[in-house]
Amino acid sequence: MIAKTIRTCFPIAAAAVSDKAEEINKLNVFPVPDGDTGTNMSLTLGSVVKELSSLPADADMEAIAAAITHGSLMGARGNSGVITSQILRGAAEGFVGAEDPITSADIAAALRNSVKVAFKAVRKPVEGTILTVLRDISTRADACAKAKDSYEDTLDAIVVEAYESVARTPDLLPVLKENGVVDSGAFGFAIFLENFVAAALGRTTEVEEISTTFEGTADSAREGALDRVKIEANDDWEGSEYRYCNEFLFKADAPFDEDECLQFLASMGDCELLVGAYPDYKIHVHSNTPNLVLEHMLNLGQIYEVFIHNMDMESRERTAKIHEDQDASEQASEPAKPLGYVAVAAGSGEAEILTSLGVDVVVSGGQTMNPSTADLLEAVSKVNAEAVIILPNNSNIRMAAEAAANACSDKQVAVVPTKTVPQAFSALFAVLPDSSLEDAVEAMTEAASEVRDGEVTCAVRDSAASDGTPIHAGDVMGIINDSIDVVGSDVKQVTLDCINRMQEEEEGDALTILAGSDMSDEDFEDLIAAIEEAQPDLEIDSHRGEQPLYPVIFSIE
């Protein structure tokens, strides 16, 4: 019966952890300790599910224990995944030989073995982590066995203890208390245990319905743990001493000194783990020199399935995601404003200016990287407004913008057909406070149409200017209102020629000019000085647009 129970319940519990992986990830307050704890635990458990599914229907507990041991070892990801693999191995091996019906004594024995195996794998166990929770539920199971409680009551008791232990983790590990969270690995383990027990006791058969099925003390224990959680972005974290998380599978050519190998791994960094048995092992270490780790192990055998993660980058991505979620949460709690804006921009400087002018969401894109209808729809969905105006800022993006407007069903969406970012600047200035969608579109469209644009870029193939002048690949082109009117070899001179020509055709009062990513500050300052000399009556508003491919974009009004 125990074999069948494990085989039935394990996939359900693994699925529950997978469903909550992102929630578990956000709890991680270290700059990294494998900053994707939930993901890593989910991948580890998923590998076991795959291994179990390949067993014959009549597989006994010994075969299931072997599958759990092998599957979790081969699929273990990150520090949390490797430790989880040893917890599973110890518990599974502890149930081998147990007879039906299972008793509280059998559960206690399996958990004692799990504690033994897991603690042996970690050279420097830290209190307030998944290992603490494992030890606490083992102690509770021993007490249940001594009291001769039923196996049902014992299972319920260890779930309660798991969550109560999770709630205590901030009191044992200062960094958790400082950041207002419980330990992520411990929380993930409690979720797995809760859902496994729920399935084992037949409380539900639907994965999505598990996780909140316990009554009374288990519910309050879980809530007690969650009450300790207040996820916040950790912008001032100084970072770990070690940057890379190294993990890989290792097949030894011959028996070797495992303690000596662990000492070497410890000299390379921290969080060192070497688990398994000859000849197959899983190795994990945080280090600044992953190459030296791999080179050393290659002298002892073969390495494969190598994963090297940059933990600094993971930490920044996690913090950015939390900021994004917090902003979305704050926005969702605010009443929707009447009118919002989505705009497309190719450069970071352009995006900053658009944001300062009231654009809610800026979508990255431009001449050579047009955003899709789906990209624009997603941006619209992020705007907390009753109506949204899209500024495509490129003729090639207009159709996608209109398709997005037509596809949106939960709010009014309109498109102001801007061809350039400077047109968008003028259009945004033209909107009056409290304008209706229709009035705003009309005013913005009219304002954009009055803007005369110029762009300077380099030709990528031979062509001809509007007057028939030959253009060769590499020539500098001046584009005025979509027409190639100036050809030359120097960005500065072509820009001046374009501005002079536009002023001769129709004198304007103000020039807005954006420097591209390929133009240096020095060259941009030199260009502005030349324009001021050539057009002393023209008011110049200059910015870094950082757009690619176009060293200069400008408009005259």
pLDDT in tens, 497-526: 999 999 999 999 999 999 999 999 999 999
Three-state SS sequence of 10-37? HHHHHHHHHHCHHHHHHCCCCCCCCCCH
Q: Does domain 244-314 have CATH number 3.30.70?
A: yes
Q: Is the pLDDT of residue 241 over 90?
A: no
Please name which of 485, 407, 492, 406 lies closest in space to residue 452, comparing C-alpha atoms.
485
Q: Is the pLDDT of residue 330 over 90?
A: no
Tell me which CATH code domain 335-449 carries: 3.40.50.510
What average pLDDT does the chain have? 86
Residue 208 pLDDT level (bands cut at 50, 70, 90): very low
* Domain positions in the chain: 2-227, 244-314, 335-449, 452-556
Determine contact, residues 141/104, Cβ cutoff 8 Å: yes
Which pLDDT belongs to residue 325? 63
Taking the C-alpha atoms of residue 196 and residue 12, their distance in angstroms, rounded to an integer, is 7
pLDDT in tens, 44-82: 899 999 999 999 989 999 999 999 999 988 888 777 788
Which pLDDT belongs to residue 247? 87
Which pLDDT belongs to residue 217? 54
Query: For residue 279, is the peptide bond before it cis, meaning its omega torsion is within 30 degrees of 0?
Result: yes
Q: Is the pLDDT of residue 29 over 60?
A: no
Please name which of 369, 393, 368 lies closest in space to residue 458, comparing C-alpha atoms.
368
Choice between 273 and 413, residue whose per-residue pLDDT is larger: 413
Same fold, 2-227 and 244-314: no
The shares of helix, strand and coil residues in the chain, as percent rounded to the nearest 5, are 55, 20, 30
pLDDT > 90 fraction of the chain, expressed in percent and rounded? 57
SS3 call for 285: strand
pTM of the model as a whole: 0.54
Tokens of 497: 């020629």
| End-to-end alpha carbon distance in the chain | 82
Choice between 272 and 428, residue whose per-residue pLDDT is larger: 428
Which pLDDT belongs to residue 370? 86
Tokens of 421: 């970012």
Three-state SS sequence of 56-117? CCCCCHHHHHHHHHHHHHHHCCHHHHHHHHHHHHHHHHHHCCCCCCCCHHHHHHHHHHHHHH
Q: Which residues pair with 302 in a beta bridge?
A: 251
Place of tokens 């409290």: 434
Taking the C-alpha atoms of residue 213 and residue 203, their distance in angstroms, rounded to an integer, is 7
Which pLDDT belongs to residue 179? 66
Which residues 6+ apart lie within 8 Å of 92 measured at CB?
A: 6, 61, 64, 65, 68, 69, 110
| Span of 316-320, 343-347, 369-373 with lowest mean pLDDT | 316-320
Report the pLDDT averaged over residues 315-341.
Answer: 72
Q: Does domain 2-227 have CATH number 3.20.20.80?
A: no
- Strand arrangement of the beta sheet that strand 510-515 belongs to: 483-488, 476-480, 452-458, 552-556, 510-515, 539-544
Which residues 6+ apart lie within 8 Å of 254 measured at CB?
A: 301
Taking the C-alpha atoms of residue 201 and residue 156, their distance in angstroms, rounded to an integer, is 9
Fold of 452-556: Hypothetical Protein Tm841; Chain: A;domain 3 (3.30.1180)
